[in-house]
Amino acid sequence: MATEIGISKVEAIKIIAALWHPLTKAQRKVLLKSMKIRKFEKNEVIYRGSDSPRDLMCLVFGKVKVYKEGVSGRSHILRAIKSIDFFGYRAFFAEEDYKTSAMAIDDCEVAFFPIELIANMMKENNAMSMFFVKHLAKLLGTSDDRTVSLTQKHIRGRLAETLIFLKDCYGVEEDGVTLCIYLSREDLASMSNMTTNNAIRTLSAFAAEDLIEIDGRKIKIIEDKDLRKVSRIG
C-alpha cells in the first residue's frame, strides 16, 4: 500500500516549480500545501484503468511503467516514466476515465497534486499551460514514432529500439554500459510488441553477436553504435 514518506515537500516543490517558472510566492504556497508525496513499492499499482483522474502525478524518484491491459489479459507497456516526469493527467483534460494503468517498476516516490487545482492555476499561468502543451505534444510525437516502429520493424529492430530507448531514458551505471533499469523478459517483450520467447531468443542473438552482455536482468550495451544501426534499419 502507498505510504507517506520522508522526502522534503519543500525540496520537491523547488524541483517541480522550476519547470513551471515563473510561479508567484502565492502559487508556490498553494502547491506546497496541496501536494502529497507517497512511496510505492515495486509492482504496486499507482492508478488503474477506468479510475477517475483526480491528481496530476510527478515521479520524484524511481521508475514507473504506464500500460494497458489487452483483450487476452496480456498487458502492453506504452511508456516508461523517469524521475521528474509528469503522468496521469491526460484523461482529466480529455474528460474521461483512465484508459491506462500505472505501476511502480521498482520502489518509487510520487508527488500528487489535485488536478482541479492545477487546471485553475494553468488559467492564471501561461508558462505552466505551455509546459503541459509541449509535454503532451512530445508524448504524442513519441507515441506516433513508436506506433510506426512496432508495426513496421522486424523483431530485431523492435527489441534494439527498446534497449536504446531505455538507455536514453534511464542512462547507464558507472561502468558506462549497464542499463540503469532491470526489466523482466516479459516487460521487454511487452515494450517491443513481441512474445516473451521471441524476446529471449533475440536477446541471446544480440549477446552472441557481442552487441550486448546479459547477467540476469542486467543488460550491458557493448556496441551502442551497432545496436542503434539494428534499430534504425529495422
Q: Quickly state the pLDDT bin for 57 (edges 50, 70, 90).
A: very high
Co-location of 29 and 61 in the same domain: yes
* CATH code, domain carrying 206: 1.10.10.10
| 139 shares a domain with 38 | yes
Q: Are residues 169 and 135 located together in one domain of the fold?
A: no
Q: Are residues 138 and 160 located together in one domain of the fold?
A: no
CA distances from 94 to 35, 53, 103 (A): 23, 10, 22
Residue from 208, 189, 211, 191 nearest 200 by CA: 189
82 shares its domain with 176: no
* Cα–Cα nearest to 118, from 49, 17, 25: 17
Sequence letter at residue 81? I
Among the three residues 146, 162, 178, which one is the final residue of a domain in this structure? 146
Same domain, 66 and 182: no
Distances (CA, A) of 68 to 142, 152, 170: 17, 21, 22
Do 84 and 170 belong to one domain? no
* Residue 87 shares a structural domain with residue 24: yes
**C-alpha dist (Å) from residue 219 to 80, 134, 149, 198:** 17, 32, 22, 17
Co-location of 89 and 189 in the same domain = no
Same domain, 184 and 84: no
Q: Which residues contact 13 (CB under 8 A, 6 or more apart)?
A: 28, 31, 32, 35
pLDDT tens sequence across 105-147: 999 999 999 999 999 999 988 888 999 999 999 999 988 887 8
- Give 50's contacts (C-beta < 8 A, 6+ positions apart): 97, 98
Span 160-187, pLDDT tens digits:
999 998 998 888 999 999 999 999 999 9
Number of separate domains in the chain? 2
> CATH no. for residue 87?
2.60.120.10
17-48 pLDDT tens trace: 788 877 888 888 898 899 999 999 999 999 99
Give yes or no for residue 82 having a pLDDT over 60. Answer: yes
Last residue of a domain, one of 131, 146, 161: 146
88 and 59 in contact (C-beta within 8 Å)? no
| Domain stops at, among 111, 126, 146 | 146
173 with 125, same domain: the answer is no
Model confidence at 3: pLDDT above 60: no
Residue ranges making up the domain that contains 206:
153-233
Residue 37 near residue 112 (C-beta atoms within 8 A): yes
Positive or negative: CA dihedral 42, 111, 9, 171: positive
Q: Residue 21: its pLDDT value, please?
A: 76
Task: Look at residue 6 and tell me whether its pLDDT is greater than 60.
Answer: no
Query: Looking at the structure, do residues 112 and 186 belong to the same domain, yes or no?
Result: no
